[in-house]
Structure 1
Amino acid sequence: MNRRKKKNGRRSAQSLVVMIVILGAMWFASAIRARDEANAAGESRTTEPTGQTDNTIAVPGGEQMLAVVTNPNLRGVDVEYAGMIMSFNPSMHVPNWVSWELTESETTGHAKRFNKFMADESVEGCAETWDYNYSGYDRGHMAPAGDMKWSDEAMRQTFFLTNICPQMKSLNTGAWKRLEEKCRQWAKADSAILIVCGPVLTDTLKEYIGDSRVAVPERFFKVVLAPYANPVRGIGFIMDNGRVEGGMQSAAVSIDEVERVTGHDFFACLPDEIETKVEAECDFPFWSNIKAKR
C-alpha cells in the first residue's frame, strides 16, 4: 500500500513538471511574437523623421563644421582649447584661422574678463608678450573674450597669444568690435552660429614686430554661418587693418570671396547643394536687420 502511494506521487510530480514546461514554452512563443510585432511597428514609425518640416534641412553638427581646410601653402599647427579650435602658423606667429560656435546661452555667463595676455609655451612659434610692447599695435583677439563668458577656462584661453594678432586700435575698437557685438546678437536670434576668423596671410606682408618677428596682417577676415536657421544662411567680411571706411556694410562679402582671398575652405562638410548656395550669398541688409529674441 505505501509503495503504491509513493509511485502515484512520483507520477503526479512528473505530470506537474511536464505541464510547467508546456506552459513556459507557450508563454515564450507568445513573447517572441509580441516582440517581433513591436519591432515591426517601431520600424514603421521611424521611417519618417519626426520633429522636422519639409522646409528644414538637416546639417551636420556644429562641431563637425568648425573644422577648416587650411590653405596648403601655409604652415599650420592644429590647436584645440576649451572654447575654440585653430590652425596656428609658427612661421608668422599668428593663427591662420580660429573657429568656434557661439550659442544663445553662451552670450552671457559668470566668467569675469581675464585680461592678462600670455604665451602658450606648448605651441610651437607662439609669440611672447613683449613682442607687442611699444609696437603701436593692439593685441587683437580673434575669438573674443566676450564670447567665452560661459567658462572661466575658455575666457582665460582667449588671452593666449596664439589667439592674438597685431591690430590697429582703430580696427580693434572700431568695426571689428562692432562685428563681434553683432555676432552675439545673431547668436541670440538664431540659437547658435558658427564663426571663423583670422588674418589674411596670402597678402604680401611688409611689417613684423618684436624679437619673434610677429607678422602684421594688412587685412582680416570673418565668416559667419547660421546652420540652424531656416533656410541656412552665411556671410563673410574682409576688413583692412585700420579704420574701416563705411563700417561693416562696406566690408561684407560672400564666403566664396573670403575663400578666394585666403585659400581656406570653410564649412566643407555641408551638403554640396547647401554649401554652394550659402557661400555665394552676401545679403548684409538682411543680416543687419536680424534682431535678438526677447
Structure 2
Amino acid sequence: MTLWRIILFPLLLACFFSAYPSYAANTDCPISCSAHSRSQESCQDMIFGMIPTHDNANEIKVCHKHYLVGANIVSKTPNWVAYHLTSTYIPQPDISREKYYCPDPCLNSGQRAEPMDYTGLYPKYNRGHMTPAKDNKWDLDSYQESFYLSNIVPQQPDNNNGIWLQLENDIDVWLKTYGELYIITGPIYDYQGIKHQEIGENKVWAPVALFKIIYAPNQQLVLSFIIPNQPIPASALPRYLTSISTINQWTDLNLFADLPPTLKDSVPTSLWPLQ
C-alpha cells in the first residue's frame, strides 16, 4: 500500500495542478515597457478631445498600442480605459494564444496587480476585461496587451458573461451602423452606499459597479451605462442607462470633457437600434 501511495501521489498532484494555468511561471509576460508602450501623447487618437483628468495623484496614464489606461496604483485596477474603433477595424482571424494574464510591464511591482492576486477567486470573481480582447485583434501584440492586468477588474462571472458581454456584442453592431465609436470604460469602486472589497496579496479593489460610455461622433450620439457588478439578466441592459455627468460624479473623473453639456447631462431613454 505504501508503494502505491509513493507512485500515485505525485501523479495525482501533477494532474491537479495541470488543470489550472500557472500564471506565476508564465515566461510569455513581457518584463520591459519600452517595446510595449507609446508616449501618452501618441495615444491621443484613443480619446475624443481632452485626455481624462483625475485629481488623484495615484493615477498613472499608460498608452498601449490600441488603448489608453488611467492605472490606479492603489486599487491596482484601471480608473478608466479609453479606446477608439472605426469601421476599418478587421479582427485578424489567425490571432489566438493562451490567455495569459500579465502584469503591466509599464507599472512597477507594488503599483500593479499580479496574476496570483486572482488565483482561487472563482466563482466569486473572474478577470473582467475593460477593453475586450476581441476589439484588440489588430495584431498579436495588441491582443496580448489586452490581457495586461491594468485592463482587468475583478468581475462577477455572471455579470462578465451576461449583461457585460451583451453590451460588448451590441457595440459590435453599433460600430457597423455608425462607423466610428469612442469608448471609455472602467470601475466604480464605491456605489450607492456599498464599499468595494479587496482581493489578493496586493489588495486589488473589486468594484461595486462598472461604467461604459459610447460616443458616435459622426451622429453626435451618446450611450452611457452604470451596471452593478452582480448577476443581471442581459435583457435588463436599458435599465442601466445613465448620463456622462452622473458617471463623472461617481468616479470623480472628467470624461468626455469636450462634449457639450446637453450631451453629457442627457439620459437616453432607449438603446440604439440593433440592425
Note if 1:120 corresponds to 2:104. yes
Find the aligned partners of 1:151 and 1:213 in 2 and give their Cα distance: 32
Letter in 2 for 1:280: D
| TM-score normalised per structure 2 | 0.75
Structure 2 gap ranges (5+)? 1-43
Q: 2:141 aligns to what SS in structure 1?
A: helix
Query: Of the candidates 201, 205, 220, which is equivalent to residue 215 of structure 1?
Result: 205
Letter in 1 for 2:62: V
On the 8 A contact 1:68/1:264 being kept in 2, the answer is no
* CA shift in 2, pair 1:62/1:186, >3 Å: farther
Who is 1:228 aligned against? 218
Who is 1:80 aligned against? 63
Note if 1:194 corresponds to 2:178. no
Letter in 1 for 2:100: K
Letter in 2 for 1:228: N
Q: 1:205 aligns to what SS in structure 2?
A: coil
* CA shift in 2, pair 1:222/1:75, >3 Å: same
Query: Of the candidates 271, 281, 287, which is equivalent to residue 266 of structure 2?
Result: 281
Find the aligned partners of 2:201 and 2:269 in 1 and give their Cα distance: 41
- Cα shift at 1:263: 1.5
Alpha-carbon displacement from aligned partner over 1:171-227 (angstroms, at most 9, x marks no partner)? 110111110111111111111101001011354634211111111111111111001
Query: How is 1:1-294 mapped onto 2 (pairs within 5 angstroms)?
Result: 63-65=46-48, 67-73=50-56, 75-106=58-89, 108-110=91-93, 112-114=95-97, 115-124=99-108, 125-136=111-122, 137-203=125-191, 205-229=195-219, 232-244=220-232, 247-270=236-259, 275-287=260-272, 289-291=273-275
Find the aligned partners of 2:63 and 2:47 in 1 and give their Cα distance: 14
On the 8 A contact 1:192/1:226 being kept in 2, the answer is yes
- Cα shift at 1:103: 1.2
Who is 2:12 aligned against? none
Structure 1 gap ranges (5+)? 1-60
Q: 2:93 aligns to what SS in structure 1?
A: coil
Alignment size in residue pairs? 224
* CA shift in 2, pair 1:142/1:282, >3 Å: same
Look at both structures and tell me which one has the larger radius of gyration over its CA atoms: 1
Who is 2:8 aligned against? none
Deviation beyond 6 Å, 4+ runs, structure 1? none
Find the aligned partners of 1:166 and 1:286 in 2 and give their Cα distance: 26
- Cα shift at 1:111: 5.1
Find the aligned partners of 2:129 and 2:113 in 1 and give their Cα distance: 14
Find the aligned partners of 1:286 and 1:118 in 2 and give their Cα distance: 34
Find the aligned partners of 2:223 and 2:57 in 1 and give their Cα distance: 24
Find the aligned partners of 2:150 and 2:50 in 1 and give their Cα distance: 17
* CA shift in 2, pair 1:157/1:241, >3 Å: same
Find the aligned partners of 1:283 and 1:107 in 2 and give their Cα distance: 29
* CA shift in 2, pair 1:105/1:85, >3 Å: same
Q: 1:265 aligns to what SS in structure 2?
A: coil
| TM-score normalised per structure 1 | 0.71
On the 8 A contact 2:77/2:205 being kept in 1, the answer is yes
Find the aligned partners of 1:264 and 1:142 in 2 and give their Cα distance: 17
* CA shift in 2, pair 1:74/1:263, >3 Å: farther
Q: 2:215 aligns to what SS in structure 1?
A: strand
| Higher percent of residues as helix | 1
Find the aligned partners of 2:87 and 2:116 in 1 and give their Cα distance: 36
